[in-house]
Amino acid sequence: MSCYILHHYKRQKAEYKKWCFVYYENYKWNNICPYIFNKEFIHTFCKTPTIKKEEWNINFWINAEWNEEWTKIEKVLCDIVFKIKKDGIIYWERANDLRWSKAKIILWYKNSQSHQYQNHFSWYGQHILKRQQRVSLFADKKESFQPQDENWNLVDIKDLLEVRYWKNELRKLLKPKRWIWVRRIELSDKDWATLYQEIISLTNKRIFWKDLSNINPRRLTEIDY
């Protein structure tokens, strides 16, 4: 297995029902990836060309919060634990066109009004691939989740990571280059399995697909945090 820690930008926080909160990427003029408002979490665009795609891979999506001087990592927040399900690796027939014969696998592609299409799949034209196949990864429903503590905050895994990596090395790996996070950390079998269990041990609330599947994220109201 090839499992990764994948860095992304700070997530938006929103209340999806009374006193229940969710964190997700939401750029007004961009796709939301990975996409968690669906019957399975979906990963199509961000960083897929640089990672190995294998069933049962677990990818940990994180955001590092730095101090103002960019000399110290304050927190490493994990917002998605994404385990690829069996038969959850779907290669597009044409990388830059969703209109293809096997698209029935992606059931909602025909409905251009669906929030899955508008907020995720419709953005393939913004991410043109010239030589590579495009792939969508679908997450296992039971073992993929957003980890939160008892106060509805994302779980901080900074201390867990620093046990496995020297602090200086962790800063190097997680610091952006030209304000873009392009690096990813590949984990050994032992490391990802341990990290997965440790995240679960720190987690008070696990937010699953069933909590979010009927929500259109564009209609949620952002909350500062």
Q: Which helix (H) or strand (E) holds 15?
A: strand 12-17
Q: Which residues contact 157 (CB under 8 A, 6 or more apart)?
A: 60, 62, 76, 77, 78, 195, 198, 199, 202
pLDDT in tens, 162-195: 988 888 888 888 888 777 777 789 998 888 999 9
| pLDDT at 118 (0 to 100) | 82
| pLDDT at 100 (0 to 100) | 66
Does 85 have pLDDT greater than 90? yes
- Please say whether the beta carbons of 37 and 213 come within 8 A: yes
The DSSP letter of residue 178 is T
| pLDDT at 47 (0 to 100) | 87
pLDDT in tens, 111-163: 667 888 888 888 888 888 888 888 999 999 999 999 999 999 999 999 999 98
| pLDDT at 79 (0 to 100) | 96
The letter for the amino acid at 110 is K
Please report, for the chain, the start and end positions of each structural domain, with discontinuous segments joined by +. Answer: 3-220
CA distance 206 to 112: 30
Q: What is the pTM of this model?
A: 0.92
